[in-house]
Structure 1
Amino acid sequence: MSLLVIPAAGVQGGAVVRAALRRGRKVRALVRDPARAAPLAALGAELARGDLLDPASLRAASLGIRHVVLQVLTGPVEAMRAMAANALDAFAAAGVAGLVLKLASASRTAPCAEPSLVANAMVEAMVRAAGLPAATVRPTLYLDNLLKDSARRDIVENGLFAPPIAADQRIAWTSAEDCAEAALVLLERGAFGGDHRIAGPAGVTGPELAARLSVGLGRRVHYRAQPVEDFEREVAAAMGPALAAAVASKFRFFAALPEEAEAILAAPFAPQPGLEDFRPTAIADWTFAHRADFMPEEAIA
């Protein structure tokens, strides 16, 4: 059964492509730069050059496709609205049979004022209004954030993980791999109409997270809560002030409203219709599987 993954070149989309190929599915991957996505092609994915802001490329990529896993990239609300509208128009024209909307990060179903959560809710409403059989997959927070350059370097060099999250905040950390598996299970079972919160098997505090990372890596890792202002400056230096402000906004929301953070992040995964037998990956197991990513450069060499 044919599957279109949009976008496919990043951590989250790439996880969906690889998981689908392992399951023997025919995968078309929408990427901006096919040269940079060569590893996906080497695994067997068909690359389609395109962009969520390019309606013609979306229409071409959707032809002959049965299922789609879509993630609307975080950005200004009007840009996200345009991206979602372009994608949904293309899917309708191509006769796509089912869609999983994969949200980029933690979210909630009830209205609130935090901009990224408002944007997520807007995209979800657009998908519902389109009438296409669809399910939503929403993560808590991704363990894959530990693989970003600054976080990975801090763990490798200093044995420290320092996100902008209070040490006593419980989080049931998930992973891009688990969210990809959940999306594919829902498509395979035709389990549309649901809103699926994907979380890890346990909600842990910062020190408890560090203890599990230590088990997976076989060496001591400590946790330290970073001020949101420092985090925003680091992201701005790497990715620009606009994106940094958008990312930091959510962490400020969590800090200001700990009861909301608890509702969104803390509870472990619970069986859901379509995902009754889904088993999330434990933190130590995920860390052990990725331990090569946390090796010092000289050890890799």
Structure 2
Amino acid sequence: MSVIDQSKPILVYLAAGVQGSAVVRAALRRGFKVRALVRDRRRASALSALDVELAEGDLRDPASLRAASAGIAHAVLQIPIGSRDDMRVQADNAVSASLSCGLKSIVLKLASASRPAPCEEPSFVANATIEDVVRRSGLPFTTVRPTMYLDNLLKPSARIDIVNEGTFAPPLAESQCIAWTSVDDCARAAVTLLERGIHSGDHRIAGRESVAGKELASRIGAGLGRRVAYRAQPLDEFERDVDAAMGPGTGRRVASKFRFFASHPAEADAMLAAPFTPQPGLEDFQPTGIEEWVRQHRAQFFETNQTSSGGPG
């Protein structure tokens, strides 16, 4: 383990999104210079207010990625959710740009927990595809993957139900234990690994406590100072709601992971339930507790005009 040179900026992919912007903030707090990759600088006003270098680029445009990677030694890479073929092309483009510009290492930040063995569930297939692209490149890399994000509580539909109805209703069985993490904790872990020169390993980022639905609702309520109940939303109902919000057919794709968890409870426990344990490079990492996280975000729960810029997935 060796501390990396901070004289050059690090490149943060998808920097204008929920997860990418969290990485930018975490890197700045640790003293890094940041080059933030965005598709349109005019739509990155929040980043413009920070001390970062904006680089316009598109994961489907290899030339723009090579320009963004010039002079960079390390990057935090994330690929947006889409079809497996599209995600593979974008990962190939990012890796090719990294190789051509002589990057020394990548932190690969996946959007969700992954099943280690082959599986037909689309989100797990996508994760495995991206990892395979990076591994085959020969670039030194380490992987960061979350259990499930508390930040999903702040999506408009969930937030409104929690505040107005006193109900949290995800498409997850009440009995399913989850060691919930957060976007900021995963970003902090990614930057810590980068800072310490960790170029290998698979890092599962989880919360400090594993809770079932009723326990989760109790902690949300304690953080907000009000009673919150848990209701497991039926998956067919969840699919209809997603279709209504995002277009026909989207619900089935989004719900597939939750259907896998419902059909394979032992595997769901293996991916989601265990609390965080110290790992090489993250021996002293301290996850944020659920109630503490809710208290930190209390104002966001009660914002009346909050709009969504896309959740963490």
Shorter-chain TM-score range? over 0.9
Q: What does residue 175 of structure 2 align with?
A: 168
Distance 2:103 2:278 in 1: 28
Displacement after TM superposition at 1:246 (Å): 2.1
Query: Kindly tell me: are residues 296 and 5 of structure 1, through their superposed partners in 2, closer, same or farther at Cα, counting changes over 3 Å?
Result: closer
| Corresponding residue for residue 77 of structure 1 | 84
Residue 88 of structure 1 pairs with residue 88 of structure 2: no
Post-superposition shift, 1:101? 0.5
Tell me, yes or no, if structure 1 residue 143 matches structure 2 residue 150: yes
* Structure 2 SS opposite 1:196: strand
If asked which structure has higher relative contact order (CA below 8 Å, sep 6+), I would say 2
- Could you say what secondary structure the match of 1:197 adopts? strand
Three-state SS of the structure 1 residue aligned to 2:153 is helix
**Does structure 1 residue 256 correspond to structure 2 residue 263?**
yes
How far does residue 296 in structure 1 lie from its aligned partner after superposition?
5.4
Contact preservation (8 Å) 1:167, 1:224: yes
The amino acid that maps onto 2:143 is T
Partner Cα distance (1:197, 1:56) in 2: 33
In structure 1, C-alpha distance between the alignment counterparts of 2:15 and 2:252, rounded to whole Å: 25
Please name the residue that 2:140 is paired with: 133
Please name the residue that 2:56 is paired with. Answer: 49
Asked if 1:107 is matched to 2:114, the reply is yes
- Mapped to 1, the partners of 2:58 and 2:244 lie a distance apart of 25
Instruction: Find the partner of 1:204 among 211, 221, 225.
Output: 211
**Does structure 2 retain, via aligned residues, the 8 Å contact 1:72–1:84?**
yes
Counterpart contact for 1:55–1:90, Cα < 8 Å: yes
Distance 1:221 1:73, change over 3 A: same
CA deviations 1:246-284 (Å, max 9, x no partner) are 221000000111111111100000111111111111000
SS for the counterpart of 2:31 is coil
1:59 and 2:61 equivalent? Answer: no
> Quick check: 1:4–1:69 contact (8 Å CA) kept in 2?
yes
> What does residue range 153-232 of structure 1 map to in structure 2 within 5 Å?
153-232=160-239
Structure 1 unmatched ranges of 5 or more = none
Deviations 1:104-161, CA, capped at 9 Å, x for gaps: 1121222222111011111111111111110000100000111111111111111111
AA partner of residue 183 (structure 1): A
Query: What displacement does 1:242 show?
Result: 4.6
- Give the structure 1 partner of residue 104 of structure 2: 97
Mapped contact 1:157–1:296 kept (Cα < 8 A): no
CA contact (8 A) 1:75 1:243 kept: no
Structure that is richer in helix per residue: 1
SS in 2 for 1:35: helix
Aligned-residue Cα RMSD (Å) equals 1.2
Label 1:161 to 1:269 Cα distance change in 2 as closer, same or farther (>3 A): same
TM-score of the two chains, using structure 2 as the length reference: 0.92
The residue that corresponds to 1:284 in the other structure is: 291
Aligned-partner residue type, residue 97 of structure 1 = K
What is the total number of aligned residue pairs between the two structures? 298
Amino acid at match of 2:286: R
> How far is the alpha carbon of 1:244 from its aligned partner?
3.0
Question: SS at 1:280's partner residue?
Answer: coil
Of 11, 18, 28, which aligns to 2:18?
Answer: 11
